[in-house]
Amino acid sequence: MKGVIIGTAGHIDHGKTTLIKAMTGIDTDRLKEEKERGITIDLGFARLLLPSGRQVGIVDVPGHEKFVKNMLAGAGGIDLVLLVIAADEGVMPQTREHLNILQLLNVKKGIVVVTKKDLVDDEWLELVSDDIKKELKGTFLENSPMVFVSAVTGEGIEDLVQLIDRMTAENGEKDLDSPFRLPVDRAFSIPGIGTVVTGSLLCGRIRVGQTVEIFPKGLRSKVRSIEVHGESKDVALAGQRTAVNLSDVKPEDISRGDVVSEVKAMMPASRAAVWFKLLKDSPRALKNRERVRFHAGTGEVMGRINLLEGDELFPGGETFAFVDFEKPVAVVYRDYYVVRSYSPVHTIGGGQVLFLNPPRLKKSSKEKALEALKKAKDGDLKDFILGFVSTFGKPHVPIKDLVPHTGKNAGDLVKAAQSLAEEGKIVMLRVGAEDEVFGIEFYEEKRAKAKEILEKYHQKFPLSEGMLKEEFRSRLDLEGKVFEVLLGKWAEEGVVESTGKTVNLRGFAARMDERQKRVADRLLRELKEKGWAPPTIGELQSMLGSEAGSVKEVLNWLVSQGDAVKISDDLYLAKEWVDKALELLREYFRENEELTVAQFRDMLGTSRKYALPLLEYMDGIKATRRLKDVRLAGVKLYELNKT
């Protein structure tokens, strides 16, 4: 069954609570002070059984100016509003303020209920009706039905209930697929049961036994039991007034404004990029960096609005801005909010949340930021993703990390990302076990930089097969897994080739000029002549002189051609001498089980200076195996014996 939340709105003492009691039989004034003063201070709740057999939840909100922040706490998640106006007084200040709030929160559907019909005659009622119509012109209630009732005599009550039944029968589909969100409007303790929180379930579904997180505080808890309209349920659905019994938390740990949701489905926001509209009837312009009261969901927090354009915003104007919160809040992309002035307190505007915890913008990126904000406001998840990776988040991000920003499930985000990838607006790759999106600018810049780095490397070291992967990764400033994935993608695109520990541009081949060929011939002769006691790189460089260029580069080329072997950073041997050493080892181990460094030195007829690094090289290629201070025959020697 679809969940429907009905809310009341209107000026103090216009009969909202009395109207609800006449419809439901429930008195929503639950506080002693409310009874004594005859006004609703805090939120009240009731359930209404409709003629169709459906049950809907009703949120009764206070009308007194001092308690408008409590009204805001109850206005979120409303599907249908009853704008209550007393026939004997007509439209009053809080009527207008509540109407402004409802529009700022994007409430779409409502009924105008004119109460206390029994106190006026027909002529007065007609005058009030005309006045109301004028007041509602241009608002979402302009063409809404108007019902005249008397809670005292009961006149019109049945007609109102019938109308509510008809208007909620075709209520829009609820979002049951996103992670559930329950903004808390009350937290209390029941003896023998424990902590209970209540609220209007905005989206998704919550289940008994589910582990949940309370945002923005980050508390973890578990759902013991659930009630919907006073009945125990295993599952509560979006659009239902819900009471949840939570374990391992106390009522004082939870505040109005907190949001119960799935684990890691939201995040604490200390800053937000928003769209903001200043009401036409705001008493003055809004100045940049002005301190305001920010209302979202059921919460209120102080913050400062930083206008993206200009030093002030005039009544009726709209803009994009950043809000810096004095305490973390729990909101997601496209949540509606209301702003009230700090002092004197009255509603001045509101808008929509777009990006959470955005970075500080550079002046040079202002135009780009404005474009991204406009698209995010008017668009969908695709526009959010583009704005996130281009300006307001990170240039590449795992899709699961976008869930707390958007309040949507990962599946919806994957579909949006796949669509963008097909359009060529982002690159989507699998990094480890996660799908990750890459901003197209970031991707193309890294690819261009990769080509530039390798081109310069090949020019400087034409004999090198390629740059070491780790050096290449460091120059690109990429983390390991991301680097490997991008390297694979660039290889698919025909940009690079990667073999072993090196990377080179596709099609690159090491080539020697005549000078380098002469140097290579000289070096190879020198290595062959000196056998197991070759000159060091420094000695070879001194021997050939600086005009020979980099001796090490030529030596590495000889290694790549199979003519030389790199024993250590400073020691190279001709390949034939390494092969001879392997043969000597093979013969030795046919008769012996162990070999010391001194024995190997004597076997080669050289010094420890050369014998030790060569023996360590043999360990590395598994020709020998070190055991404390001796060597045993390695796997490679056994393989040689077989051949």
**CATH value at residue 258:** 2.40.30.10
Say if residues 241 and 229 touch (Cβ distance below 8 Å): yes
For the chain, how many structural domains are there in total?
Answer: 4
Q: 604: domain CATH number?
A: 1.10.10.10
Strand partners for 322: 273, 306
Residue 28, pLDDT score: 61
Q: Residue 274: is it exposed, middle or buried by C-beta count within 10 angstroms (0-12/13-18/19+)?
A: buried
Q: Are residues 101 and 163 in the same domain?
A: yes
Residue 65, pLDDT score: 41
Q: Are residues 9 and 96 in the same domain?
A: yes
Give domain status of residue 274, yes or no: yes
Q: Are residues 116 and 189 in the same domain?
A: no
Residue 548, pLDDT score: 62
Query: What domain range includes position 211?
Result: 181-262
pLDDT per position as a tens digit, 343-365: 898 899 999 999 999 999 888 88
DSSP H or E run through 616: helix 608-620
* 148 phi/psi in degrees, rounded to 5: -105, 125
Residue 185, pLDDT score: 85
CA distances from 458 to 44, 307, 518 (A): 75, 50, 20
pLDDT per position as a tens digit, 61-100: 654 344 344 444 444 568 899 999 999 999 998 899 889 8
Residue 553, pLDDT score: 83
Name the stretches of the chain with pLDDT < 50: 1, 29-42, 63-75
Q: Are residues 161 and 192 in the same domain?
A: no
- Picking from 180, 160, 225, the residue whose alpha carbon sits closest to that of residue 77 is 180
Q: Are residues 189 and 160 in the same domain?
A: no
- pTM across the whole model: 0.81
Question: What are 601's two structure tokens?
Answer: 């030195």
What is the Cα–Cα distance from 7 to 105, expressed in whole angstroms?
13
Residue 4, pLDDT score: 84
Give domain status of residue 534, yes or no: no
- Picking from 256, 206, 199, the residue whose alpha carbon sits closest to that of residue 236 is 206
Residue 533, pLDDT score: 94
Give domain status of residue 588, yes or no: yes
Give domain status of residue 406, yes or no: no
Give domain status of residue 571, yes or no: no
* 244 phi/psi in degrees, rounded to 5: -125, 125
Give domain status of residue 345, yes or no: yes
136's CB contacts (< 8 A; 6+ apart) are 99, 112, 142, 144
Say if residues 152 and 15 touch (Cβ distance below 8 Å): no
DSSP H or E run through 486: helix 480-492
Choose one of 146, 169, 192: the last residue of a domain.
169
Give domain status of residue 612, yes or no: yes
Q: Are residues 205 and 71 in the same domain?
A: no
What is the Cα–Cα distance from 541 to 564, expressed in whole angstroms?
17
Q: Are residues 284 and 227 in the same domain?
A: no
What is the Cα–Cα distance from 242 to 229, expressed in whole angstroms?
7
pLDDT per position as a tens digit, 125-160: 999 999 999 999 999 999 999 999 999 999 999 999
Q: Are residues 89 and 232 in the same domain?
A: no
Q: 118: domain CATH number?
A: 3.40.50.300
Give domain status of residue 528, yes or no: no
